[in-house]
Amino acid sequence: MKPTKPAIKTQKKEETKKIQLMKIHAEGVVVEVSAPYCTPEEWAERTGMDVEVVRLALYNRRMARHQFSPKGDLFVNVIMETRRLLDAKPWN
């Protein structure tokens, strides 16, 4: 009787997809971001802000935010925050 399954399983090659960066254009300046949204904790880590300050700014709508459902968690809208920064022109 022949075995129905092979004795050695062939391992699937893990294909790693490169992260495609999103480009934001503003007056000749191009900024690449890795994700359109991030958690308040991740934003605080990226910017050096306190997590509670980020959460309070999201709650008070002083920071661009995104909410996937009406009762869902709040996320920082990275694209809008980057555009806001580019419009402020901090390099001048």
What is the per-residue pLDDT across 29-66, written as a single tens digit (0 to 9) for each?
777 888 889 999 999 998 899 999 999 999 999 999 99
**Strand locations in the chain (E):** 22-26, 29-33, 37-38, 65-67, 74-77
How many structural domains is the chain composed of?
1
Beta strand 29-33 with 37-38: parallel, antiparallel or unpaired? unpaired
User: 28 in a domain, yes or no?
Assistant: no
Distance separating alpha carbons of residues 33 and 70, to the nearest angstrom: 26
Task: Give domain status of residue 7, yes or no.
Answer: no
Global confidence as pTM: 0.67
Does some domain include residue 59? yes
Kindly state the tokens that stand for 35: 């994700």
Q: Which residue has the higher pLDDT, 88 or 17?
A: 88
Range of the domain at 84: 38-88
> What is the average pLDDT value for the chain, to the nearest integer?
81
What letters, b where the CB count within 10 A reaches 16 and e where it falls short, cover 7-43? eeeeeeeeeeeeeeeeebeeeeeeeeeeeebbebebb
Residue 2 lies in a domain: no
